[in-house]
């Protein structure tokens, strides 16, 4: 392929799709009780979920280095690509995009285009998949880049957490909102707006939060054919029920990807979190 597509480990793409499209993945780093490792390779979702419910254990994350990205870009180019499109989680949530941008300036900005997904998980992943499919069809750098950015604009992320404390500790939501939510025993439905985590609606119970999560997805999807992704951390049963309800209530579901959140995102949302990513079809497409 003339254009290689690269992302980071927080896209949580199914492994079979990564292999099928030759997508390059650069892992983030996770520090768990003093031990540092690569997300998905050295430290698993289960490791993080167990640490977060164990008193005294701390979990933190850090971006890949510019050097990690330079090595990945050069490997892609040495593998036969002429150009690279590099798509990453929100620059508002991580320094990963910035590290990729620094690396691109070293390799050549006319060679590497860096895209901010303004979200995370499969909201990044759907843009990566769309770009990889275009690249597989022989599209040039500008076209692959445009398709990735268009997909970002058509994607929405909503999720529910058991507690806002993990988001507060990681600086992903304001302290005042987290403290108020805990004091009032509120279970907010959250979404990602321009790369930031923002409360969408406040309800009193987990069951009500999940119900409203589904309703928001149904309203956003409308009658259009959509792709969905359901993520969770240590909440497989809850995710399965969510998938069943979405299949029953969203009129035109093209496909559903289900995966557990990895360590880097899981550390910020905590065990029990579930979320849905909705990807709308391109403009003018019919179901």
Q: What is the dihedral of CA 218, 180, 47, 244, to 10 degrees?
A: -20
Kind and range of the H or E element at 102?
helix 96-107
Contact between residue 28 and residue 94 where contact means Cβ atoms under 8 Å apart: yes
Torsion angles phi and psi, residue 7, rounded to 5: -145, -175
Give the β-pairing of 29-32 and 59-62: antiparallel
Residue boundaries of the structural domains of the chain? 3-28+63-153, 155-279
Are 3-28+63-153 and 155-279 the same fold in CATH?
no
SS3 197: strand
Fold entry, domain 155-279:
Hypothetical Protein Tm841; Chain: A;domain 3 (3.30.1180)
State residue 185's pLDDT score: 62
Determine how many CB atoms are found less than 10 A away from the CB of residue 200.
16
Measured over the CA atoms of residue 100, residue 41, residue 236 and residue 62, the dihedral's sign is negative
Kindly give the confidence (pLDDT) of every residue in the chain, 287 residues in length, as a single tens digit, with 9 standing for 90 and above: 799 999 999 999 999 999 999 999 999 999 887 788 999 889 888 888 888 877 657 788 899 999 999 999 999 999 999 999 999 999 999 999 999 999 999 999 999 999 999 999 999 999 999 999 999 999 999 999 999 999 999 999 999 988 776 676 655 555 445 444 454 467 788 899 988 888 888 888 888 989 999 999 999 999 999 999 999 999 999 999 999 999 999 999 999 999 999 888 888 888 899 999 999 987 644 43
State residue 198's pLDDT score: 84
Query: Which bin fits 52, alpha (ψ -120 to 50), beta or left (φ > 0)?
Result: alpha
To the question of pTM greater than 0.85 for the whole model, the response is yes
Torsion angles phi and psi, residue 180, rounded to 5: -65, -45
State residue 182's pLDDT score: 52
CA angle 204, 209, 213 (to 5 degrees): 155
Class at the top of the CATH hierarchy for domain 3-28+63-153: alpha beta
């Amino acid at each position: 392929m003339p254009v290689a597509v690269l992302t980071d480990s927080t896209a949580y793409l199914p492994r079979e799709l990564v292999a099928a499209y030759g997508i390059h993945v650069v892992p983030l780093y996770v520090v768990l009780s003093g031990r540092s490792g690569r997300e998905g390779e050295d430290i698993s979702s289960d490791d993080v979920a167990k640490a977060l419910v164990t008193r005294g254990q701390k979990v933190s994350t850090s971006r890949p280095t510019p050097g990690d990205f330079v090595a990945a870009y050069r490997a892609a180019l040495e593998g036969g690509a002429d150009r690279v499109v590099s798509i990453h989680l929100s620059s508002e949530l991580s320094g990963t995009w910035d590290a990729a941008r620094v690396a691109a300036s070293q390799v050549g900005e006319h060679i590497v285009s860096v895209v901010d997904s303004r979200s995370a998980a499969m909201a990044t992943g759907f843009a990566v998949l769309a770009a990889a499919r275009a690249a597989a069809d022989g599209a040039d750098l500008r076209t692959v880049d445009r398709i990735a950015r268009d997909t970002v604009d058509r994607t929405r992320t909503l999720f529910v957490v058991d507690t806002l404390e993990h988001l507060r500790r990681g600086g992903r939501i304001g302290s005042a909102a987290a403290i108020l939510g805990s004091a009032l025993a509120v279970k907010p439905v959250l979404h990602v707006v321009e790369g930031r985590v923002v409360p969408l609606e406040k309800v009193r119970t987990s069951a009500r939060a999940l119900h409203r999560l589904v309703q928001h997805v149904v309203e956003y999807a409308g009658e259009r054919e959509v792709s969905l992704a359901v993520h969770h951390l240590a909440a497989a049963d809850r995710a399965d029920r969510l998938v069943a309800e979405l299949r029953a209530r969203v009129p035109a579901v093209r496909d559903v990807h289900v995966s557990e959140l990895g360590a880097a995102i899981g550390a910020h949302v905590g065990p029990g979190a579930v979320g849905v990513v909705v990807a709308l079809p391109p403009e003018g497409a019919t179901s």
